[in-house]
Amino acid sequence: MKMSAPIYHLKRKAKTLSRTEKIPLNQALDRIARDEGYGSWSLLAAKASAEPPAGKLFARLLPGDLLLVGARPGHGKTLMGLELAVEAMKSGSPGVFFSLEYTEKDVHDRFRAIGVEQTQFDHLFEFDGSDAISASYITGRLASAPRGTLVVIDYLQLLDQKRENPELSAQIRTLKAFAHDRGLIMVFISQIDRSFEQSQKLLPDIADIRLPNPLDLTLFDKTCFLNDGKVAFGAVG
């Protein structure tokens, strides 16, 4: 059963209800839970805690969002991108995966790695591994994409690898405006600088994004960082 909003929004709603109707918070929480189809708040909370990380993150994403997913190689950033696409497709929205690194077979193998049978989403999933991938190419390919489409771009640092493409910052601004105007969610998989491995941090953060070319990272709305099975979500700014 999909909740109408992330649990922290529902908790905020319950606090407002408690104040306006002058009832104890636990009663307000239970009332919100019943509105969501659960017998009590404890049942709703148990459901939320059992949800996989991609499900929790997807619930926080809004049409027009740009999400940055960063990790060192082998720590699951591509799988997270695919899992987010699966969450979108479960809700009936298309998932599009642009990759300058992986082949279509690689992506099929990763679907299997997350226990998903891709054929059930054949009508919603699209893979594009063109060498021409850039902001202008992506906006052209998505010209008719419906609102709510989740787009994965693998990966950020390769967008401006060709001299004929605009600089990276210009491309991200183009994609940000396009996503906002069309109501798309764009997920950018990103490399993490090697220096993170010498740090004492449990998880990378936005300061660890590898930037061979200048880029204003405040263009992104939200972040997801992964390392050794740990996941951290956040907002930029």
Judge if 22 and 99 occupy the same domain.
no
Same domain, 91 and 178: yes
pTM greater than the 0.85 cutoff: no
The CATH number covering residue 66 comes to: 3.40.50.300
- Identify whether 64 is part of a domain: yes
Do 58 and 121 lie in one domain? The reply is yes
Asked if residue 109 and residue 154 are part of one domain, the reply reads yes
Residues 34 and 91 both lie in one domain: no
Does residue 2 lie in a domain region? no
Would you place residue 162 in the very low, low, confident or very high pLDDT band (cuts 50, 70, 90)?
Answer: confident
Residues 6+ apart with CB under 8 A from 177: none
Residue 175 is predicted with a pLDDT of 98
Residues 96, 22 within the same domain? no
Q: Report the share of the chain in percent with pLDDT over 70.
A: 96
Q: Is the pLDDT of residue 138 over 60?
A: yes
Let me know if residue 210 belongs to a domain. Answer: yes
> Span 217-236, mean pLDDT?
93
**26 and 138 housed in the same domain:** no
Q: What is the pLDDT of residue 50?
A: 64
Write down the pLDDT at residue 163.
86
Is residue 68 domain-shared with residue 102, that is, in the same domain? yes
Between these two residues, 163 and 225, which has the higher pLDDT value? 225
Mean pLDDT lowest among 31-35, 110-114, 191-195: 110-114
The residue range of the domain holding 179 is 53-235
95 inside domain: yes
Is 2 a residue whose pLDDT tops 70? Answer: no
Mean pLDDT throughout 92-96?
96
Is the pLDDT at 6 greater than 70? The verdict is: no
Would you state the pLDDT for residue 10? Answer: 87
Q: Is there a domain that residue 24 lies in?
A: yes
The confidence score (pLDDT) of residue 174 equals 98
Asked whether residue 32 falls in the same domain as residue 90, the answer is no
Q: Is the model's pLDDT at 46 over the cut of 90?
A: no
Query: Would residue 140 count as lying in a domain?
Result: yes
Averaged pLDDT, 195-202: 91
Quick one: pLDDT at residue 4? 75
Residues 101 and 160 both lie in one domain: yes
Query: Which residues partner with 135 through β-bridges?
Result: none
- Within-domain flag for 1: no
Report the distance separating Cα 155 and Cα 82, nearest Å.
Answer: 13
The token duo for 214 is 């200048």
Highest average pLDDT, of 3-17, 110-124, 204-218, comes from 204-218
Q: What is the average per-residue pLDDT within 16-30?
A: 93
Residue 1 has pLDDT above 60, yes or no: no
Shared domain check, 225 and 214: yes
What pLDDT, on the 0 to 100 scale, is given for residue 57?
93
Structural domains of the chain, count: 2
For residues 127 and 171, state if they share a domain.
yes
150 assigned to some structural domain: yes
